[in-house]
Chains A and B, each alone.
Chain A
Amino acid sequence: MATAAAHHEEHPGGLTRWLFTTNHKDIGTLYLWFAFIMFFVGGAMAMVIRAELFQPGMQMVEPHFFNQMTTVHALVMIFGGVMPAFVGLANWQIPMMIGAPDMALPRMNNWSFWLLPPAATLLIMSLFMPGGGPAAGWTIYPPLSTQGGMGMDFAILTIHMLGFSSILGSMNIIATILNMRAPGMTLMKMPLFVWTWLITAFLLLAAIPVLAGAVTMLLTDRHFGTSFFDAAGGGDPVMFQHVFWFFGHPEVYILVLPAFGVFSQIIPTFARKPLFGYSSMVFATATIAFLSFIVWAHHMYTVGMPMAGELFFMYSTMLIAVPTGVKVFNWIATMWRGSMTFETPMLYAIAGVFLFTIGGLSGLMLAITPADFQYHDTYFVVAHFHYVIFAGSVLALMGAAYFWLPKWTGHMYNERLGKLHFWLTTISFNVTFFPQHFLGLAGMPRRIPDYALQFTEFNQISSIGAFVLGLSQLLFLYIVVQTIKGGKQATDRVWEGAEGLEWTVPSPAPYHTFATAPQVK
């Protein structure tokens, strides 16, 4: 393989390499660096939020700016951080995992990526417009989102561009997986990461246009005299919430299904034992994807739906716990009676599964409609979604980075620093978000810049945790850069228990891999 690829190694250097590249590895790298930068931008905003909430009283910022921070933090993290990071992983890994030479639509791939930087710039720019950035929460509920300055219009345009990029990216991923598998690589032989991405891509195709429709109606309400969501003009503000969450709930699974895929790659590798229940994993993923379209109104229990609606959405939401449970049980059964070692990627996968399950269980509590009347719009919800998104998706991303960095760079990362980063991250994550459960139960609403005195202690713990969590990520950056620059030469297999096509190519993976398709038995 190495010799076949060697003379393909030449490519333009400098900036044009990155601007015009159609190579899946280059584009994967671009996505990953873009996401990394966005994590730091969104993280800085989180630091502003936690600094303001360190003590009761207003110290750092104005309430209006605080609202911009919560809004833009969420948009940046979701659309700029987690989603592009997983697309980056998909770009790097899917062709190598299925034995394809590249993505199916390389030029479109280039465009999908290059839509992102202008979109992100637009969103950050909005903060400097008169009236500031969007301040209505990432859910941009009207009528609040029809008030206010042009920051909201910037955000709407940003969402359109990012959505466009996601749709193109998903089409590419679907086309690649369905058409470019190596001979012998049947669907039911694909690595689970490929499966979860295939399903995620379909979720994206179905969900993103719905969001685009919702924000377009918002835009025309704001500027062109329509009243889709304005009760005074015969419109309906609650309709926006239905449309938004019809997108929004699948969206949360878009954020987490690829992470499930990552766990399913890492855990068997370090347990030295095949994934338990492969076909039930595929089936559970598909079930979750289907259910995710019929649970949306669990975000809206307090809007005053008819009883039949409240009950339907309670029952359907509770049902999601079943396939989610199946996945967790399968991961644990994979570890059971394995021969486990605990390199950094495995630590991340284990912590990710455990902490994600805490978030899944608080999700189950939130699904209970009457109880949700007490939880809704409190810090309990904030704790829930950070346990699923940070512990589920972001820990998976970090684990994936350590898992595949040796393949990407040809160097082993520094294991001691990796472990240090792991412990710093997971401990400070829990210090930050566990107390938020208590805050919510005790009655602290979310999205407030200042709070009553009885909430002081837990907010202080949370803020201290957050500062440590934020700073620890500089260590991550250092480790990544150090690994790119040098380090112990990685073997092709990298990990003793590694299985799959990506481990058969040299480390670092050459610019072109699988120019001739491998035969999968």
Chain B
Amino acid sequence: MLKSCVINLKHILYRLFSGMGMSLVPGLAFAEYGLNFQRPVTAIAHELLWLHNAILIICVAILVIVFSFMFYAIIMHRKGRGHQAAKFHDNTTLEIVWTVIPFVILVVMAVPSTATLLKMDDTSNPDMTVQIVGYQWKWKYEYPEQDLSFFSALTTPREQIENQADKGENYLLEVDNPMVLPVGKKIRFVLTANDVLHAWWVPQLGVKKDAIPGYINEMWTQIDEPGTYRGQCAELCGKDHGFMPIVVEAVSEEEFAKWASVQKAKMVAAETRAAKTWSRDELMERGEQIYKQACVACHGATGAGIPGVFPAITGSKISTGPVAAHLDIVLNGKAGTAMQAFKGQLNDADLAAVVTYERNALGNKKGDLVQPAEVKALR
């Protein structure tokens, strides 16, 4: 601990000093210094940075001016210097002045704020729409025009989180399937959530909005330059709230079209694969993958769950009872709990595999197999 403190002190001083110099020139790239907003890449994010810098400067100026009076008094009007107390305790003119001036400053601040807000609110005439659905603890992205739909979840390995391996450059900010978007297009986001509140936030794009079950929220963005932009869920959503990042890859229009067709082909291939009859080993292998991706967050790597919060899989009534009930809870979830309906998230084969896995691993030995066809019949 001590060693890392000392090393970090160097970074800290460097950051502070270089950052102070930079902050005198609002609008420059601050990202490297971590003292101000990340570098904006949309017109709105630029405006937000400008607005933030402007109100920050006004606030700092107010603070300095007002408290220079206080510090002057503290130095000059002290008993130790023999200063005699004056007797005044009222001045109506002064009271009016210092009520009116702040009011005027507020009006000045409100004008550009209102203008920016109106711009952010205008989701009309988009070139394209992407639907965002928050899940505990991953995001689902749907592209209705491209007929695509996929989940996006954290890929940072557990060993890094548990300090058994060195942390990578994008620690906690990396996902399996990023949201890919074309640059220069007005993109409308439609947000909702499947279970609890989440909030989708990518600082460099200047967008943040809550994803709320039963609500459909809208916002928009138009990205100026290609690149990878990272963000995080910004509304407490339970245990792994800190572990559901967002990655947006902005690419040219051609690359976007190419990506969309490759993605589509992958989806079709997965569906045909799902239709066949699977062997026991295939089911168990696939099931383990799916368990680690979709179930482990709550039910734990060993299937023990967290007593009182998330039930165990090992030896549980459901995973050692009839297959139908087991499939039912995995497909349809359990209302009022964190157990979600997975039928919209996983295909028949993945569902069959993970149920087979839960019945024959994690300390369970039911011995039965579940085939994709059985899942299909229950949908």
Contact = CB atoms under 8 A, between A and B. Distances in A.
Contacts of A238: 212, 215
Nearest to B107: A318
Interface of B: 1, 4-5, 8, 11-12, 15, 31, 34-38, 47-48, 51-52, 55-56, 59, 62-63, 66-67, 69-70, 73-74, 77-80, 83-91, 94-95, 98-99, 102-103, 106, 109-110, 113-114, 116-118, 120-121, 160-163, 167, 169-173, 195-197, 199, 201, 203, 206-210, 212-215, 217-218, 230-243, 306-309, 335-338
Contact of B99 (A271, A273, A326, A339): A326
Interface in A415-448: 438-439, 441-443, 445, 447-448
A323 B337 CA distance: 45
Among B34, B59, B218, B309, residue most surrounded by chain A Cβ atoms (within 10 Å): B34
B309 A453 contact: no
Contacts of B59: 361-362, 364-365
Interface stretch (A12-20, A23-31, A127-135, A290-298): A127-135
> Chain B interface mostly helix, strand, loop or mixed?
mixed
A136 B199 CA distance: 15
B55 A332 contact: no
Contacts of B48: 370-371, 373-374
Contacts of A55: 1, 4
Contacts of B109: 318, 364, 368
A56 B166 CA distance: 11
A373 B208 CA distance: 6
A135 to B, nearest CB: 8
Nearest to B202: A443
A520 to B, nearest CB: 18
Interface string A339-369: 1111000000010011001100110110011
B34 A455 contact: yes
Contact of A141 (B1, B162, B232, B236): B236
Given A63-B242, A460-B5, A271 B308 contact: no
> Chain A interface mostly helix, strand, loop or mixed?
helix
A64 B239 contact: yes
A365 B52 contact: yes
A340 B163 contact: no
Contact of B309 (A132, A332, A370): A132
Given A370-B48, A374-B48, A448-B241, A232 B167 contact: no
- The 4 A-B residue pairs with the shortest CB-CB distance, nearest first, are A231-B214, A130-B308, A131-B308, A448-B242
Contact of B12 (A144, A278, A350, A457): A457
A237 B197 contact: yes
B213 A452 contact: no
Interface string A172-202: 0000000000000000000000000000000
Interface string A307-339: 100110011001101100110110011111111
B209 A304 contact: yes
A445 B243 CA distance: 11
Given A232-B335, A442-B34, A377 B235 contact: yes
A147 B306 CA distance: 14
A398 to B, nearest CB: 19
Contacts of A374: 37, 48, 52, 203, 206, 208
A132 B306 CA distance: 10
Contacts of A336: 69, 73, 77, 86
26 contacts: A55-B1, A57-B167, A130-B307, A141-B235, A144-B236, A274-B89, A276-B88, A276-B90, A302-B235, A303-B210, A307-B121, A318-B109, A329-B98, A335-B74, A336-B73, A354-B70, A362-B59, A368-B109, A371-B51, A373-B209, A374-B206, A439-B34, A443-B38, A448-B242, A452-B230, A455-B34
Nearest to B10: A457
Contacts of A277: 89-91, 95
A393 interface: no
Interface residues of A, number: 106
Nearest to B120: A370
Contact of B172 (A136, A144, A147, A451): A451
A146 B336 contact: yes
Interface string A134-158: 0111000101101111100000000
B102 A272 contact: no
A341 B213 contact: no
Contact of A132 (B163, B171, B308): B308
A333 B161 CA distance: 53
Given A147-B336, A238-B215, 7 more contacts: A318-B106, A339-B78, A371-B48, A376-B208, A377-B208, A450-B243, A455-B34
A447 B213 contact: no
Contacts of B91: 276-277, 333
Given A332-B66, A457-B12, A450 B161 contact: yes
A378 B234 contact: yes
Contacts of B203: 374, 443
A273 B197 contact: no
A492 interface: no
A314 B110 contact: yes
A335 B118 CA distance: 44
